[in-house]
Amino acid sequence: SVEEMEARVREIKSKFGDRLFIPGHHYQKDEVIQFSDARGDSLKLAQICSQMPEADFIVFCGVHFMAETADMLTNADQKVILPDLRAGCSMADMADIDQTETGWGKMQEIWGDTILPLTYVNSTAAIKGFVGKHGGATVTSSNAKKMLEWAFTKKERILFLPDQHLGRNTAFDLGIPLDQMAIYAPLEGKFEYEGDLDDVKVILWKGHCSVHEKFNIKHIENLRKQEPEMKILVHPECTYDVVQASDLDGSTGFIISTIENAPPGSKWAIGTEMNLVNRLAQEHPDKEIVSLNPFMCPCLTMNRIDLPHLLWSLEKLEEGEVVNQITVPKEVAEYAVLALERMLERS
């Protein structure tokens, strides 16, 4: 039963004590996040991993790229475990390293040595390595603006991987007009841009989050009509028009603190993953909280981490077996860590 599984998780956790550490992302299910030793948005989780307490085992409740980052930021002898290896991220998979090398070659032909690559942390270690090797850095949704500003002190143009929406929303926030942003479509190996290529300031990789693309402008228009006092709060992985039409946007950490600080009786429609929206609604019964998309939007890969998988990985540890260990090859990690450190230093 669920109660038995929960009791076993508690038992194994107390047996291991400080030797076991469980970080959890805000999108994790309640049945899992209740056991996390720390929860956070992507930036906070990366910061926690870089100053990880003396844990031998880090059982990461999140997705694959987060576990890779944890492996790279912790000591060599600390082992990172992902309770279900199918917990990937479709956005991270939209930029593979061969496509990136090919695209980069084409960009060099057009713009020469004027481009600095930045990657959203929602990317594979190989992409982080590529970016690190070329002098760039990672960004998260909570420091993207600051990192983009930094990047423009280094080079005239930025390649932003792999989320076109976070890239566009952030660049627009910095005052870059949409007509100075080109899109690079990796599957076709082509640029989508109509103006003069010399004017391009930002090259957006054509990737997206399939969860956040489910919030659209119609949802906002309907709400504005039906619930005019409701405030709309979205994640910057949403499309440009949704972010523009919303009242506020920011990382999962920002979404949580906004709701925590909102006055009782206030009404909110939130455009982000369903587990987080439901949890906020439960934790704040004095406020009205709904999903911006009434059909709710789960991240299927985040949800792969469930109580049975968490328990299974912990029971294996108890038996002395490390399952689903995530390790990033040294030659990739060497450069990827540079990209991560350039971000952590500035956050």
Return d(Cα 60, Cα 45) in angstroms, integer.
10
Residue 114 marked as a ligand binder? no
Tokens of residue 207, six digits = 């990737």
190 pairs with which residues across the strands? 185
Q: Is 286 helix (H, G, I), strand (E, B) or coil?
A: coil
Residues of this chain, 242-261, that bind ligand 13P according to CB under 6 A: 251-252
The smaller minimum CB distance to ligand SF4, of residues 71 and 163, is found at 163
Could you say whether residue 234 binds ligand SF4 (CB under 6 A)? no
Instruction: Rule CB under 6 A: choose which of 28, 74, 122, 275 binds ligand 13P.
Output: 122
Instruction: Rule CB under 6 A: choose which of 9, 49, 81, 91 binds ligand SF4.
Output: 91
- Closest separation between CB of residue 89 and ligand SF4, Å? 3
Residues of this chain, 22-51, that bind ligand 13P according to CB under 6 A: 26, 41-43
Q: Amino acid identity of 309?
A: H
Q: Is 87 helix (H, G, I), strand (E, B) or coil?
A: coil
Residues of this chain, 56-115, that bind ligand 13P according to CB under 6 A: none
Could you say whether residue 124 binds ligand 13P (CB under 6 A)? no
- Closest separation between CB of residue 191 and ligand 13P, Å? 26
Return d(Cα 129, Cα 132) in angstroms, integer.
5
Could you say whether residue 122 binds ligand SF4 (CB under 6 A)? yes
How far is CA 27 from each of CA 248, 308, 323, rounded to the nearest angstrom?
19, 17, 23
Return d(Cα 162, Cα 139) in angstroms, integer.
11
Could you say whether residue 127 binds ligand SF4 (CB under 6 A)? no
Could you say whether residue 169 binds ligand 13P (CB under 6 A)? no
Tokens of residue 114, six digits = 């004027």
Among ligand SF4, ligand 13P, none, the one that 301 touches (CB under a kind-dependent 5 to 8 A) is ligand SF4
Interaction mask 266-305, ligand SF4, x per CB under 6 A: -------x-------------------------x-xx---
Among ligand 13P, ligand SF4, none, the one that 141 touches (CB under a kind-dependent 5 to 8 A) is ligand 13P
Angle at 73 between CA 72 and CA 74, to 5 degrees: 100
- Closest separation between CB of residue 227 and ligand 13P, Å? 25
Residue 299 marked as a ligand binder? yes
Residue keyed to tokens 């439901």: 278
Return d(Cα 329, Cα 65) in angstroms, integer.
14
How far is CA 291 from each of CA 98, 192, 225, 270, 299, rounded to the nearest angstrom?
37, 33, 16, 5, 14
* Residues whose CB falls within 8 Å of the CB of residue 175, separated by 6 or more in sequence, listed in order: none
Could you say whether residue 246 binds ligand SF4 (CB under 6 A)? no
Residue 297 marked as a ligand binder? no
Among ligand 13P, ligand SF4, none, the one that 252 touches (CB under a kind-dependent 5 to 8 A) is ligand 13P
Return d(Cα 161, Cα 207) in angstroms, integer.
8
- Closest separation between CB of residue 122 and ligand 13P, Å? 5
Q: Is 191 helix (H, G, I), strand (E, B) or coil?
A: strand
Residues in contact with ligand SF4 by CB under 6 A are: 63, 89-91, 122, 209-211, 273, 299, 301-302
